A and B are shown apart, each in its own frame.
Chain A
Amino acid sequence: MSKNHNTIVLLVDDDLDDRLFFQESFEEIKIDTTVHLLKDGKELMDHLEDPSHKLPDIIFLDLNMPILSGMDCLVKIRKNILWKDIAVAIYSTSSSETDVENSFINGANIYIKKPNNFDQLRKILSEVIMINWQYQTSGLNRDNFILNIK
């Protein structure tokens, strides 16, 4: 595979610490990635709708956000056909079955319970990016891309 394939990652989380954690985890992942950090749903929509931006390969969404929650963003993203190839991972502190199920039903591909260990975070993100990449390169059916990481 060409070396200039670069996975574009978007994180939407209203918490500054979480955003920094996320970014730092990516610094050590082997796969080439570009990370954009956004702090709410509005910024997300603006970013996606901006034609000058390349569409991301994967979006990480926190559920608990004010104004536009992660679930609302998810629904909006999945409504738009142009964005159907973007993998969406819900990245949340909640581990409630309801949240998990609703996320998948509304079109999320991945559900990640926010870990409380930095190493674990790195490992999880690395795995997610790797799997996502498999889906992108090996002709796997994106519709069946469902992954639950607790």
Chain B
Amino acid sequence: MSNVVLREQFSILHIPFAFISASEVLIIDPIPNNVLPTLLTSLKKYGIELLENQKSINLQKIKDTIIDLVNLEDNLPTTKISTFLAEKLNLSYTSISNIFSELTHTNIEYFIILQRIEKAKMLILEDNLSFTEIAWKLNYSSLAHFSGQFKKVTGLTPSYFKKIVRKRKTETNNN
């Protein structure tokens, strides 16, 4: 999806480019100064940001990896994530943690939990699965465990969350 956007934007602004991998694109010629802000603004509209340094790049990679992991069908516990990350990014877990904390002011564990809860929210709103099934799908040991963590992170129970979003939708429909 972002590829299409990038292609489009680059074409409009006549910026020559080439894709190195699924998520990396090489810009062939340096971008003129007057064009860059426009490019950045347009891309920002699509949620695409320009990362300016290696650390940021790494951070983004960490995040992407975690997000991908969470979105996979079977979720791996944190300890395995750490080894997985270390391997994938060719860095020690400690340096990964440090980068993460420094730049996001929170730790990987929390980030992972956050991602999982976000996924849970999406599943809840899709309304195809029961809460128990969702808990299982996200690799929680029990519905109680899942509800507990959900409540801890959001301050709401999963059912309350569902109720609120539903009511919100009717409210916006009425307006």
Rounded to whole angstroms, the CA-CA distance of A104 and B154 in the bound complex is 12
A51 to chain B, nearest CB (A): 16
B77 at the binding interface (Cβ < 8 Å): no
B112 to chain A, nearest CB (A): 12
- Residues of A whose CB lies within 8 Å of any CB of B are 1-2, 30-31, 79, 101, 104-107, 111, 130-131, 133-134, 137-141, 143-144, 146-150
Q: Is the CB of A1 within 8 A of B114?
A: no
- Contact A134-B106, Cβ < 8 Å, known A1-B59, A2-B52, A139-B67: yes
Rounded to whole angstroms, the CA-CA distance of A104 and B168 in the bound complex is 7
Counting chain B residues whose Cβ lies within 8 A of the other chain, the interface size class is 20 to 34
Q: Is the CB of B155 within 8 A of A148?
A: yes
Q: Is the CB of B52 within 8 A of A147?
A: no
Rounded to whole angstroms, the CA-CA distance of A147 and B151 in the bound complex is 9
Rounded to whole angstroms, the CA-CA distance of A144 and B166 in the bound complex is 11
Chain B residue numbers with a CB within 8 Å of A1 are 56, 59, 103-104
Chain B residue numbers with a CB within 8 Å of A137 are 104
B161 at the binding interface (Cβ < 8 Å): yes
Chain B residue numbers with a CB within 8 Å of A130 are 104-106
B48 to chain A, nearest CB (A): 10
Choose from A105, A141, A148 the contact partner of B168 (Cβ within 8 Å): A105
- Contact A105-B154, Cβ < 8 Å, known A139-B47, A144-B118, A144-B165: no
